[in-house]
Amino acid sequence: MRKAQARRRRAGVAEIFSRKLSVTESRLGITKVRSWFRYLNLMKILAIETSCDETGLALIEGKGDQINVLANLVSSQIETHRPYGGVVPNLAKREHQKTLPLLWQQLQATCDMGQVPDLIAVTNGPGLAPCLWTGVNFAQELAKKLNKPLVSINHLKGHIYVALLEPQISNFEFRISKQALNSKSKKLNELKSQFPILSLIVSGGHTQLVYSKRLGHYEIIGETLDDAAGEAFDKVAKLIGLGYPGGPEISKLAIKGNPLRFNLPRPMLNSKNFDFSFSGLKTAVLYLVKGMTPEHNKPLKLTQKNKADLAASFEQTVVDVLVSKTIAAAKEYNPKTIILGGGVAANQNLRKTLKQHTDKLENIRMILPDPKLTTDNALMIALAAFAEIKLLKPLKNPADLKAEPNLRLDQK
């Protein structure tokens, strides 16, 4: 009896994914997708990421709770935006429009696509509106063409899920290499055992502490009240004459500098909450460079040594604040795991310092993502989609999906 029921369910799934659906059937089918994937032994997810200045396409294969990464393609726009010292939204949109079809062609040509992906996932926020809409529009057209369901994914969830992967999975430098990748897998059940989790997400647009009791639960317990940490890195880099993007430039120079030379303020370090503030720190650097402080009443000559010392002092100040807040939150919330995610998670000083302090806490594990996967990529969106399908997240009618530039992680 049970075998017959299972056969009928599998046949129903096969029929649903193989034939064209009417609008009414699509709307009904999208609701039913929540239960379809319980019975799917094999699921391929195509993910699309265009929230800022990286264009990404990834393909993963889910077998039960096991995940195999088939492809992760990323095209960076750094050279396009470098002359402007920051991301220009309309330029970024144009580059996404040019690059997405090329990546899709490359993925099709290189990967064994089988039939077609069973599901398409796309970042719908937060991010730059023109960039998000480019990805959403591309995903909608592809979902319609392939007659496949579409799921929207919060970009920040991706930073959490990619950190839960084995670090070795990224040892391919974003090139497709099926032989290298198919042997790397992660089981969802193993991910569940890491909870509760405390995530520090640090990027150019966000600085947040997120507590997750379980898979699919996100509680923002602290966030920046003004500039994000990554934004502060970019602005300070510009103040002292460094290039774009500022984070890597400051980190490279900071290695040669003295982090104790300049006594910069550590905003909100002793506040009784877990929020951050970095705009005052940026202003302090500006005043120091212009000679507008009691200790430095003359403009600071931007010699190589002064630049290095200022870069080191600034970086150490940011790291001290981020680590202090994270450890304080860990002591209060007592997670099993601490995760570092986002573009600034590539900063070696931050990684080392946070690991050192976490190691002093009892029964808490630290997960550091591979630096290659800290920047925006579509693999993290695919992983988040896989987890959310397992949680029976409702899927969207492609026509109903929209970009949400200010989407929050704790938004229902």
What secondary structure letter does DSSP report for 404? Answer: -
C-alpha 373/C-alpha 158 separation (Å) is 10
Average pLDDT score over the chain: 83
Cβ neighbours of 178 (radius 10 Å): 15
With CA atoms as reference, report the closest residue to 354 among 312, 318, 380, 309: 318
411 or 271, which is more confident: 271
Is pLDDT of 1 > 60? no
Is pLDDT of 173 > 90? no
Q: What is the pLDDT of residue 294?
A: 66
Q: Which fold has domain 197-368?
A: Nucleotidyltransferase; domain 5 (3.30.420)
211 close to 198: Cβ distance less than 8 angstroms: yes
Can 19-165+375-400 and 197-368 be said to share one CATH topology? Answer: yes
Cβ partners under 8 Å of residue 237, min gap 6: 243, 244, 245, 246, 247, 249, 250
Classify 382 as helix, strand or coil: helix
Classify 164 as helix, strand or coil: coil
Each residue's pLDDT tens digit, 38-83: 445 568 999 999 999 999 999 988 877 678 888 899 999 999 999 9
C-alpha 104/C-alpha 94 separation (Å) is 16
Residues 364, 190, 164, 219, CA torsion sign: negative
Reported confidence tier of residue 23, pLDDT bands at 50, 70, 90? very low
Query: CA distances (Å), 268 to each of 198, 271, 274, 279, 283, in order?
Result: 20, 5, 9, 11, 15
Q: What is the pLDDT of residue 318?
A: 98
C-alpha 46/C-alpha 29 separation (Å) is 19
Query: CA distances (Å), 127 to each of 49, 83, 133, 259, 406, in order?
Result: 10, 21, 10, 33, 7
Strand partners, 203: none
Each residue's pLDDT tens digit, 230-286: 999 999 999 999 999 999 999 999 999 999 999 999 989 989 899 999 999 999 999
Query: CA distances (Å), 232 to each of 250, 269, 278, 315, 396, in order?
Result: 11, 16, 6, 10, 36
326 close to 353: Cβ distance less than 8 angstroms: no
Q: Which value, in Å, is the radius of gyration of the alpha carbons in the chain?
A: 23
Classify 204 as helix, strand or coil: coil
240 or 293, which is more confident: 240
200 close to 338: Cβ distance less than 8 angstroms: yes
C-alpha 165/C-alpha 188 separation (Å) is 10
Name the CATH architecture for the domain at 19-165+375-400.
2-Layer Sandwich (3.30)
Q: pTM for this structure?
A: 0.85
Is pLDDT of 19 > 70? no
Q: Is 141 exposed, middle or buried (0-12, 13-18, 19+ CB in 10 A)?
A: exposed
46 close to 71: Cβ distance less than 8 angstroms: no
Q: What is the pLDDT of residue 14?
A: 39
Each residue's pLDDT tens digit, 84-121: 989 999 999 999 999 999 999 999 888 766 657 889 99
With CA atoms as reference, report the closest residue to 368 among 345, 387, 347, 349: 345
C-alpha 263/C-alpha 265 separation (Å) is 7
C-alpha 185/C-alpha 205 separation (Å) is 30
Q: CA angle, 251 as apex, 311 and 161 as ends, to 5°?
A: 135
Before 126, cis peptide (omega within 30)? yes
Average pLDDT over residues 177-189: 44
With CA atoms as reference, report the closest residue to 355 among 342, 335, 378, 337: 337
What secondary structure letter does DSSP report for 120? Answer: E
Is pLDDT of 376 > 90? yes
Q: Give me the residue spans of the domains in the chain.
A: 19-165+375-400, 197-368
350 close to 344: Cβ distance less than 8 angstroms: yes
Cβ neighbours of 353 (radius 10 Å): 17
Each residue's pLDDT tens digit, 111-152: 766 657 889 999 999 999 999 999 999 999 999 999 889 999
Up-side HSE of residue 360: CA atoms within 13 Å toward CB? 8
35 or 386, which is more confident: 386
C-alpha 337/C-alpha 138 separation (Å) is 36
Task: Report the amino acid identity of residue 227.
Answer: D
